[in-house]
Amino acid sequence: MDRISESTACAVSLLERFTNCTARVGVIGLGYVGLPLALRFSEAGFRVIGFDIDESKADAINSGRSYFMHIPDAAVAAARQRRFEATTCVSRAAEADALIICVPTPLTASREPDLSFVVNTLESILPHLRAGQLISLESTTYPGTTEEELRPRIEKRGLKVGEDIFLCFSPEREDPGNPHFTTRNIPKICGGSTPACLEVGMALYGQAVDRVVPVSSTRAAEMTKLLENIHRSVNIGLVNEMKIIADRMDIDILEVIRAAATKPFGFVPYYPGPGLGGHCIPIDPFYLTWKARQYGLHTRFIELAGEINSAMPHWVVGKVIDALNVQLKSVNGSRILVLGIAYKKNVDDMRESPSVELISLLMARGAQVDYADPHVPVFPRMRNYKLDLKSVPVTADSLGRYDLVLLATNHDAFDYELIRKNARLVVDTRGVYRESAPNIIRA
């Protein structure tokens, strides 16, 4: 990339410090995105300050401990040896040459964007910003957020974006629990508010990520992230609808998907489940639908996929009702064990997990519900759910005490043969059991 910003003293200084890794990097929000990112910048040789409002996270990091299953304590301890530290003191933002914002962007109850975490974070650091800093937003959002919400607030403080201070949008790409893709080898998208901003952002991320992909603007970068997740949402919605049709026709949808996947071109396999989970796919499409309405557009395709995916827990509960009815039992009063409450296999991530909705729906119908999840020993505090539950052991004796076992998340830690042999009924939402059995119901 041409060094277009050499006439700007602040840019020259930042480029030099990013290139030789002498800059200090601040990561705001030490969750599933922020903590791996902070650790990666530490590995790359930067001094890193992690910011979080949760004092327990800061204490854990400063003690060399991880609070995520997929990040070992050793990784945090090694970063501490490299002078990685965490704090709740926002005034220390002035010490950082780069401030990377990794905070949640949820939806409101009416499925509209909730930018309160982003805006509040920016407002909290504004008094401590100075010339010669890079601000990068990684939180998924609608096109225009960086220019409409962040840039005016920064420039109102008297700092000229592209000259005194530099502003980028570089969407997070994390897949917790995936051993093949890490922060380092997942290509990074970067868009700048100005060409100088892009140059500075590329210089920073280029030290920590193997490949940084520039785009023409922050809006293009914001839209890129939404397209990635909408692509998944729409295709999962399609295959979930196909599952319902195949079920009515008494066809095994997983057999069909496996057969279709043998086509060497033009087909990408997606797999159905009990609903969408995680921090991206259930939420991000609605950021674009909201923004599109401002342009007089109605995103029918995206919203239809969202409706199908949101309805899947109700369809699964219908399968549970049918399975119990065959045994002359009702949901009301039945004992049900939900296997797996994380949103996907082999992680402890509960965000937007369809398992939680399944538990809530079954309890509302009078079922006595327990759960088993080796990665989530105690049901965590959640905004919309307050359940006083702990994971129960899965043994031959315990399985026999339940009227039905609902396989919601297919962790590798479960003994599926033990479950098949000892459970009275199993409703399988993940396609674990390929062979038919009298006590196995696919959902």
Residue 146 in tokens? 């960086």
Which of 68-72, 74-78, 90-94 has the least mean pLDDT?
Answer: 68-72
Instruction: Characterise 141 by phi-psi region: left (phi > 0), alpha (psi -120 to 50), beta (else).
Output: beta
Q: Which of 10, 168, 197, 280 is catalytic?
A: 280
Q: How large is the average pLDDT for residues 154-164?
A: 96
Q: Taking the model in full, what pTM does it have?
A: 0.91
Which of 1-10, 313-322, 387-396 has the least mean pLDDT?
Answer: 1-10
Burial class (CB in 10 A: 0-12, 13-18, 19+), 224: middle
Q: What's the pLDDT at 7?
A: 58
CB atoms within 10 A of CB 386: 8
Q: Would you say residue 3 has pLDDT above 70?
A: no
Beta bridge partner(s), residue 371? 338, 391
CB atoms within 10 A of CB 303: 15
Q: How large is the average pLDDT for residues 103-113?
A: 90
166 within 8 A of 133, measured Cβ to Cβ = yes
- Which amino acid, one-letter code, is at 312? M
367 within 8 A of 334, measured Cβ to Cβ = yes
Q: Between 177 and 117, whose confidence is greater?
A: 117
- What pLDDT digit, counting tens, does each position of 289-347 carry? 999 999 999 999 999 999 999 999 999 999 999 999 999 999 999 999 999 999 999 99
The CATH number of 9-216, from 2.40.50.110, 3.30.565.10, 3.40.50.720, 3.40.35.10, is 3.40.50.720
- CA 84 → CA 25, 81, 99, 131, distances in Å? 10, 7, 15, 24
Q: What's the pLDDT at 2?
A: 47
Measured CA to CA, the distance from residue 78 to residue 59 in angstroms comes to: 16
Q: What's the pLDDT at 385?
A: 75
- Which amino acid, one-letter code, is at 288? L
427 within 8 A of 410, measured Cβ to Cβ = no
Share of the chain above pLDDT 90, in %: 88
Q: How large is the average pLDDT for residues 73-99?
A: 97
Architecture of domain 240-442: 3-Layer(aba) Sandwich (3.40)
Band of pLDDT at residue 391, cut at 50, 70 and 90? very high
Measured CA to CA, the distance from residue 353 to residue 276 in angstroms comes to: 7
Q: What's the pLDDT at 245?
A: 97
Q: How large is the average pLDDT for residues 144-164?
A: 96
Reduced to 3 states (helix: H, G, I; strand: E, B; else coil), residue 243 is helix
The candidate with the shortest Cα–Cα distance to 38, out of 7, 83, 89, is 83
CB atoms within 10 A of CB 72: 12
Q: What's the pLDDT at 379?
A: 92
- CA 11 → CA 77, 194, 200, 303, 315, distances in Å? 33, 12, 7, 42, 55
Band of pLDDT at residue 83, cut at 50, 70 and 90? very high
Measured CA to CA, the distance from residue 84 to residue 77 in angstroms comes to: 9
Q: How large is the average pLDDT for residues 159-181?
A: 92
Measured CA to CA, the distance from residue 291 to residue 140 in angstroms comes to: 13
Q: What is the largest CA-CA distance in the chain?
A: 79
∠ CA 194-205-70, nearest 5°, is 135
- Which amino acid, one-letter code, is at 416? Y
- What pLDDT digit, counting tens, does each position of 12-39 carry? 999 999 999 999 999 999 999 999 999 9
**b/e code 108-131 from CB counts within 10 Å (16+ = b):** eeebebbbebbeebbeebeeebee
**Chain region(s) in the chain for CATH 3.40.50.720:** 9-216, 240-442
The beta strands (E) that lie in 201-278 are given as 212-215
Measured CA to CA, the distance from residue 30 to residue 62 in angstroms comes to: 13
Quote the mean pLDDT of the chain: 94
Band of pLDDT at residue 123, cut at 50, 70 and 90? very high
- What pLDDT digit, counting tens, does each position of 407-429 carry? 999 999 999 999 999 999 999 99
Measured CA to CA, the distance from residue 290 to residue 297 in angstroms comes to: 9
Torsion of CA 421, 422, 428, 431, to 10 degrees: -30
197 is catalytic: no
- What pLDDT digit, counting tens, does each position of 280-289 carry? 888 888 999 9
Q: How large is the average pLDDT for residues 178-201?
A: 95
Which residues are CB-neighbours of 344 under 8 A, at least 6 positions away? 177, 277, 278, 409
How long, in residues, is the chain? 443
